[in-house]
Amino acid sequence: MKILTLLLQVSLLIFMVGNLLDMGLRLNLKEAVNGLKNIRFVSLSLVWGFVLCPALAVLLTKIIPLEEPYAIGMIMLGMTPCAPFLPMMVTRAKGDLSYAAAFMVLAMIVTVIYMPLAVPLMAKGLTADAWTIAKPLLFYLIVPLLIAIFLKRKWAPFALMIQPIISKITLIDTIIMLVLCVIVYGKGFVNAAGSYAFGTQILFFFFVTVGSYWFSFGLPQNQKSVLSLGMATRNIGAALAPLFALAMVDQRALVMVAIGVPMQTIAGVLASRWFARRAIAEESKIVTT
């Protein structure tokens, strides 16, 4: 089992680095920067992503009688908005991809700054200094993204050539990671069934998805869907990386984060379908008027 756990950690590393490289090689930096100039969108993204979502996660752990390791996992999920597959969900939702790019860049940068400061305060069961938490986030999130952006700007033909290769490798690794996740944490998933873990996450994903959509004041439909899907999806790699970096972490904390994989997938798919219908309805209104 130790070998499988090690393989899972390696596959997670490849997943994180691969997705960030793929994102950076696809990223239209000009569009992302334009999205970041929208003060309303950025403000709402920061408030929902790094104030309200973590606060809700903590609140749920106080109200629901979760065991401490599960509570820690829930709080880690609450701090890490935006899955790497956000653009795919935004495309299905007929949202604005330039704002998806802006949201991803914003989420990655703020996560690396925010988590080292917030984790020791909010996840009381974890004893770790800021650098221990920041190091894996910095090297596995920010560095690959910067390398990819640099390659695209300096050697665009080379970047164009390697992007499909990295995308395929990352896809294969994602499948391997999910299989390993089931093997390593399968028993933990079963044990978590009677621990309120699944119910807590259902409540979390419901409230952050619906709440961030309906209370994204002043944003048009194609930006509201980006914001909501950014909250409905979680950066599992960013949530797991600090836990893997710490010695003697209770496996139930890792299981709680891993449960977020199917939960966010369900939330993202359902939300993107509903947003797509809303976008089509709004387009119809414009045409008829």
DSSP letters spanning 10-60: HHHHHHHHHHHHHHHHH--HHHHHHHHT-HHHHHHHHHIIIIIHHHHHHHH
Host domain of residue 133: 2-280
Apex 70 CA angle, 66 and 74, nearest 5: 100
93 three-class SS: coil
Q: For residue 79, give every residue at least 6 positions away whose Cβ sits within 8 Å of its Cβ, in sequence order, or none.
A: 50, 53, 54, 57, 111, 114, 115, 118, 119, 122, 239
Spatial distance between the Cα atoms of 38 and 81, rounded to a whole number of angstroms: 19
Whether 57 is covered by a domain: the verdict is yes
pLDDT confidence of residue 285: 67
The region, left, alpha or beta by phi > 0 then psi within -120 to 50, assigned to residue 217 is beta
Instruction: Assign residue 77 the CATH number of its domain.
Output: 1.20.1530.20
157 three-class SS: helix
Whether 97 is covered by a domain: the verdict is yes
Whether 147 is covered by a domain: the verdict is yes
Number of domains into which the chain is organized? 1
Q: For each successive 10 residues of the chain (289 residues), what is the average pLDDT?
A: 82 86 83 90 97 96 93 94 88 92 91 88 71 82 88 88 91 88 84 87 97 93 96 91 77 90 92 93 69
Whole-Å CA distances, 261 to 3, 34, 77, 238: 22, 31, 10, 13
Question: Tokens for 181?
Answer: 């996740």
Whether 243 is covered by a domain: the verdict is yes
pTM higher than 0.95, yes or no?
A: no
Contact 213, 274 (CB under 8 A): no
Whole-Å CA distances, 275 to 4, 101, 120, 180: 39, 18, 36, 33
Spatial distance between the Cα atoms of 5 and 16, rounded to a whole number of angstroms: 16
Contact 56, 183 (CB under 8 A): no
Question: Tokens for 62?
Answer: 């106080």
pLDDT confidence of residue 283: 75
Question: Tokens for 265?
Answer: 């997938």
Whether 73 is covered by a domain: the verdict is yes
Whether 87 is covered by a domain: the verdict is yes
Whether 286 is covered by a domain: the verdict is no
Whether 152 is covered by a domain: the verdict is yes
Q: Residue 160, Cα to own-chain centre: how many angstroms? A: 25
232, 229, 179, 237: which is closest to 18 by C-alpha?
237
pLDDT tens-digit readout, 66-89: 999 999 999 999 999 998 888 889
pLDDT confidence of residue 168: 92
pLDDT confidence of residue 289: 58
